[in-house]
Amino acid sequence: MTAFETAWELLKAILPDLPYTEDEMNTFRGRSYNMYADRNAKKYEMGLSPDVARRLVAARREMLENEGNMNYFDSLPRTKGLPQLMSEFSRQPDLFNHPTNVLSRIGSRHGNNPPVPFNTFEQAMLSDDNKEEHSVMDSYIDQAENADSFVTAGSGAINPDGKIDEIMMNPGFGGQGFGQHMLGAMLQDTGVVGDNSFSPSGRSLMQSLGHKLTRGGDINSYRVSPNSKKSILETKLNDFRFSQPYTGWREPSIDDLAGSVVPPSEHGHPNDENEIYPPRTYPYEYERMGEQSYRWEDGELVLEPTHEKLKNTFPLGITYTGEKGKPAVTNSLFNQEPHHYKS
């Protein structure tokens, strides 16, 4: 490819370029060693220089404070597991070097602590008690600066079949478009992105990128199977196809999203304490469709052939049919080897 052709390909990427130099941002792609991932899963990681990270964290904290969103102790279901997390991350800020560790802890993957919603966790990690204290994220950035290393802004992993293993942005780095560029890099490398379950923020990320890539495209709806109540809305534009659940899909309840407090008179336990149920970490469930779809009819399981266009696709997902590896979505090139921060 000539220099002109390379420049033209870069111009065609849909997402706007991130405004950082090579010394300010490091993007890395390699093998994922997450124990829950496929052996061939790829990891994508974004790092920032300490100066850039500190500036973004301060701006994010100010925004949340101005919006009045720093009062994370208001809802007990959301904060039940927070004290243990505060203690652990205050002792070990370097846990943020690997966002997969953060995700497993706030999502209670090992069941050692009640799950904590990300926005509640973020507020706690950014809080500096009106500048009276050093926040946990500030301590992590200081630690990275002392080690002459990048600050990990976020990471993700995807399996060869397009199933997302995880995408996690560290506290303070939301709202910058990092998640869209990471998801876009996965899409243009793999050809498809989707999952069977989503957190509220993960669902919003997929919808946001899907709408951005297919805005103004052709819209069609398809029934999942001949007699299914479920349907899929598909928007197609050029090499991109965005699918999302349309009708007949179960939506999470208020308790799924916000948690609940159940008084003793209702839960029937012999003690006099309220039962606290945190919000579900992944309340949106849309299982990948196969060759056949099932439904319940009069108490019996009925199998039907899945619509031809929907076989082996994600109800919520994006497909890219262009040449893989080209910067069709993002110009953020995730290198095979990370480069080191130069202070």
User: Is 295 a member of any domain?
Assistant: no
pLDDT at 32: 85
- Cα three-residue angle 81-112-127, rounded to 5 degrees: 30
* Least confident stretch, 1-15, 25-39, 261-275: 1-15
Using one digit for the tens of pLDDT, what is the confidence trace for 66-111? 876 655 545 667 788 888 999 999 999 999 999 988 998 998 765 6
On the CB side of 219, how many CA atoms lie within 13 Å of its CA?
A: 7
pLDDT at 335: 75
DSSP class of residue 163 equals B
User: Is 118 a member of any domain?
Assistant: yes
User: Is 243 a member of any domain?
Assistant: no
17-26, long-range: CB within 8 Å, 24+ apart, which pairs?
17/331, 17/332, 18/176, 18/177, 18/178, 18/181, 18/332, 20/48, 20/52, 22/339, 23/49, 23/341, 23/342, 24/48, 24/49, 24/51, 24/52, 25/49, 25/52, 26/150, 26/338, 26/339, 26/341
User: Is 186 a member of any domain?
Assistant: no
pLDDT at 220: 97
User: Is 321 a member of any domain?
Assistant: no
Q: How many CB atoms lie within 10 A of CB 56?
A: 21
Banded model confidence at residue 181, pLDDT cuts 50, 70, 90: very high
* Rounded-to-integer distance, Cα 229 and Cα 64, Å: 41
pLDDT at 130: 59
User: Is 209 a member of any domain?
Assistant: no
What is the rounded average pLDDT of the residues 50-66?
93
Tokens of 245: 């659940």
Domain count, the chain: 1
pTM recorded for the entire structure? 0.89
User: Is 107 a member of any domain?
Assistant: yes
Count Cβ atoms within 10 A of the Cβ of residue 77 and give its class: 0-12 exposed, 13-18 middle, 19 or more buried. Answer: buried
Banded model confidence at residue 274, pLDDT cuts 50, 70, 90: confident
Using one digit for the tens of pLDDT, what is the confidence trace for 196-247? 999 999 999 999 999 999 999 999 999 999 999 999 999 999 999 999 999 9
* Rounded-to-integer distance, Cα 259 and Cα 254, Å: 7
pLDDT at 73: 45
CA Rg value for the chain? 22
Q: Check pLDDT > 50 for residue 3.
A: no
* Mean of pLDDT over the chain: 87
Q: Check pLDDT > 80 for residue 340.
A: no
Domain that holds residue 91: 20-176
Closest among 136, 177, 121 to 154, alpha carbons compared: 177
What is the rounded average pLDDT of the residues 148-171?
95
Distances (CA, A) of 298 to 19, 128, 244, 327: 58, 57, 28, 50
* Rounded-to-integer distance, Cα 255 and Cα 264, Å: 17
User: Is 238 a member of any domain?
Assistant: no
Neighbouring residues of 206: CB distance < 8 A, sequence distance ≥ 6: 183, 193, 194, 195, 198, 316, 317, 318
Q: How many residues does this entry show for the chain?
A: 343
What is the rounded average pLDDT of the residues 278-304?
90
* Rounded-to-integer distance, Cα 343 and Cα 105, Å: 31
* Rounded-to-integer distance, Cα 54 and Cα 162, Å: 33
Comparing 140 with 268, the larger pLDDT belongs to 140
- Calculate what percentage of the chain has a pLDDT beyond 90: 63
